[in-house]
Amino acid sequence: MKIFNTLSMKKEEFVPLEPGKVRMYVCGPTVYNYIHIGNARPMIVFDTVRRYLEHKGYEVNYVSNFTDVDDKIIKAANEEGVSSDVISKRYIAECKKDMEGMNVLPATTHPLATEEIDGMIDMIGTLIRKDYAYKKNGTVYFRTRSFPGYGKLSGKNLDDLRSGFRKIKVSGEEDKEDPLDFVLWKPKKEGEPAWESPFSEGRPGWHIECSVMSRKYLGEQIDIHAGGEDLIFPHHENEIAQSECCSGKQFARYWMHNAFLNIDNKKMSKSLGNFFTVREIASRYDLQVLRLFMLSAHYRSPLNFSAELMDAAASSLDRIRRAASRLSDLSGKARPSELLPEETEKAEELKGFISRFDEKMDDDANTADAISVVFDLVRFVNVELGEESSGALAGLALETLTMLCGILGIEALKKEEVLDADIEALIEERQEARKSRNFARADEIRDQLKEMGIELMDTKEGVKWTRK
């Protein structure tokens, strides 16, 4: 697979640090409100990259944080007269509901910044010891000029940056040795959450959070680090500086950034008031429509949100679902269950759609073109399969369609349409897995069935199942 690496500004062949395994970190949202559909873009895009890597056989350790200590959270808490904790916990729970609705898989780990303060104090301590950071009146700053690689991700020239910064003096700036130095730790202000530390009673800066959570859950070096393009500078540039000064090793090998989501061709922003929360969209559309809409553009292209485009995505989803539902009917009918001799060519053609889909996804996760392949497949099955087809061919076509859609996180078959036969096949596979002591696979199947709303009961007569 080729990935466009922001670090080199080129598409590069993806080679993980450890064969067969991928360590991936995606910067998560700051939780002070419902997430908006702009925040949903990196969630959907990088969940799809993850699903595709898993489809290719990689084991993906996927970490995505929640930033649960931040000025905006404190402000929201003060406005409501509650603690920051109440706000962040509430919106983490709401965010998880939205993620589920958008079919974004839970990360392997979703660390919370507030639960990782010890690691942050530790990393800041190391940076001070190594002379990459300094204390001033309870604040700890990173000494930017001490890291020769500063600017390598964003391609920024330090002298230009420095003169730009000099023009805008901010209070507290006089404590800095250099205007480019950034905060690792800041002392407590009245009414703010704070932790004891050797530097002062205070809280961490935003950038150190991700360096620490990434190191703890994925190690000093990771394969892919991702987020929206607004994070390239300063957030990701600063993460690189902190992590690489601390470990002496390259931090992330591939940096992936999604472009922004606009509304009616204008930048979506809270201040302009032209944003929608995922929750608002959910009251008007199936969130699978939002997902299909997001993936209909390449992740590095700006994407415009409009009612027309959402309606177009809704009818696209409908076309996929109608095709899947028809295949489901065809494959369930009592007709020849074996592939007919004249169908071998069509069966081969079906495989061709998988390799074409993979080809598109191998090219820097080109979901827009991969979706076109799905529609070619829909057209193919609508024309080439009918009442005369064998159950086997219809089953194969359905499997192909649901698999490709599954990589995109799109459910081709609505949950209630999942065939009893498919469920029984999975249960049988689970029994086989247990017999061969492959408990990991058996658990995976149980979880998959659970996600499909199927509950298993082990009885004397064997495994029974019910729909929830």
Which partner from the list ligand AMP, Zn ion, none does 42 bind, CB cut-off 5 to 8 Å by kind?
A: ligand AMP
Q: Cα(161)–Cα(154) distance, rounded to whole angstroms?
A: 11
CB of residue 236 vs ligand AMP: minimum separation in angstroms? 10
Q: Is 143 or 203 the residue whose CB approaches ligand AMP more closely?
A: 203
CB of residue 210 vs Zn ion: minimum separation in angstroms? 3
Which partner from the list Zn ion, ligand AMP, none does 465 bind, CB cut-off 5 to 8 Å by kind?
A: none
Q: Is 27 or 290 the residue whose CB approaches Zn ion more closely?
A: 27
CB of residue 234 vs ligand AMP: minimum separation in angstroms? 13
**Count of beta carbons in the 10 Å neighbourhood of residue 161:** 19
Which partner from the list Zn ion, ligand AMP, none does 210 bind, CB cut-off 5 to 8 Å by kind?
A: Zn ion
CB of residue 227 vs ligand AMP: minimum separation in angstroms? 4
Q: Is 30 or 402 the residue whose CB approaches ligand AMP more closely?
A: 30
Q: Is 16 or 28 the residue whose CB approaches ligand AMP more closely?
A: 28
Which partner from the list Zn ion, ligand AMP, none does 38 bind, CB cut-off 5 to 8 Å by kind?
A: ligand AMP
Q: Cα(436)–Cα(441) distance, rounded to whole angstroms?
A: 10
CB of residue 43 vs ligand AMP: minimum separation in angstroms? 8
Q: Cα(88)–Cα(109) distance, rounded to whole angstroms?
A: 17
CB of residue 29 vs ligand AMP: minimum separation in angstroms? 4
CB of residue 268 vs ligand AMP: minimum separation in angstroms? 5
- Residue ranges in contact with Zn ion by CB under 5 A: 27, 210
Q: Is 42 or 234 the residue whose CB approaches ligand AMP more closely?
A: 42
* β-strand partners of 10: 5
Which partner from the list ligand AMP, Zn ion, none does 29 bind, CB cut-off 5 to 8 Å by kind?
A: ligand AMP
User: Tokens at residue 247, please?
Assistant: 């470990």
Please report which helix (H) or strand (E) contains residue 216, including its range.
Answer: helix 206-218
DSSP three-state, residue 228: strand
DSSP three-state, residue 265: coil
User: Tokens at residue 350, please?
Assistant: 């079906």
**Count of beta carbons in the 10 Å neighbourhood of residue 6:** 21
Which partner from the list Zn ion, ligand AMP, none does 84 bind, CB cut-off 5 to 8 Å by kind?
A: none
* β-strand partners of 303: 261
Which partner from the list ligand AMP, Zn ion, none does 195 bind, CB cut-off 5 to 8 Å by kind?
A: none
Q: Is 200 or 214 the residue whose CB approaches ligand AMP more closely?
A: 214
CB of residue 378 vs ligand AMP: minimum separation in angstroms? 29
- Residue ranges in contact with ligand AMP by CB under 6 A: 27, 29-30, 38-39, 41-42, 227-228, 230-231, 258, 260-261, 268
CB of residue 213 vs ligand AMP: minimum separation in angstroms? 14
User: Tokens at residue 134, please?
Assistant: 């300094």
**Measured between alpha carbons, how far is residue 123 from residues 76, 149, 151, 152, 209 in Å?**
29, 19, 21, 22, 10
Find, among 255, 153, 183, the residue nearest to 214 by Cα: 255
In the numeric block, the tokens 């090219």 are attached to 363
DSSP three-state, residue 59: strand
Q: Is 41 or 51 the residue whose CB approaches ligand AMP more closely?
A: 41
What is the number of residues in the chain? 468
CB of residue 3 vs ligand AMP: minimum separation in angstroms? 17
Which partner from the list ligand AMP, Zn ion, none does 328 bind, CB cut-off 5 to 8 Å by kind?
A: none
**Measured between alpha carbons, how far is residue 442 from residues 66, 422, 427, 456 in Å?**
31, 16, 9, 12
Q: Is 39 or 288 the residue whose CB approaches ligand AMP more closely?
A: 39
Which partner from the list ligand AMP, Zn ion, none does 260 bind, CB cut-off 5 to 8 Å by kind?
A: ligand AMP
Q: Cα(28)–Cα(9) distance, rounded to whole angstroms?
A: 23
Q: Cα(430)–Cα(444) distance, rounded to whole angstroms?
A: 9
- Is residue 204 within 8 Å of residue 184, measured between CB atoms? yes
CB of residue 108 vs Zn ion: minimum separation in angstroms? 17
Which partner from the list ligand AMP, Zn ion, none does 179 bind, CB cut-off 5 to 8 Å by kind?
A: none
Q: Is 269 or 325 the residue whose CB approaches ligand AMP more closely?
A: 269
Q: Is 99 or 113 the residue whose CB approaches Zn ion more closely?
A: 113
Residue nearest to ligand AMP (CB): 228
Q: Is 217 or 276 the residue whose CB approaches ligand AMP more closely?
A: 276
Q: Cα(423)–Cα(425) distance, rounded to whole angstroms?
A: 5
DSSP three-state, residue 135: strand
365: left (phi over 0), alpha (psi -120 to 50) or beta: left
- Is residue 258 within 8 Å of residue 45, measured between CB atoms? yes
Which partner from the list ligand AMP, Zn ion, none does 390 bind, CB cut-off 5 to 8 Å by kind?
A: none
Q: Cα(107)–Cα(22) distance, rounded to whole angstroms?
A: 13
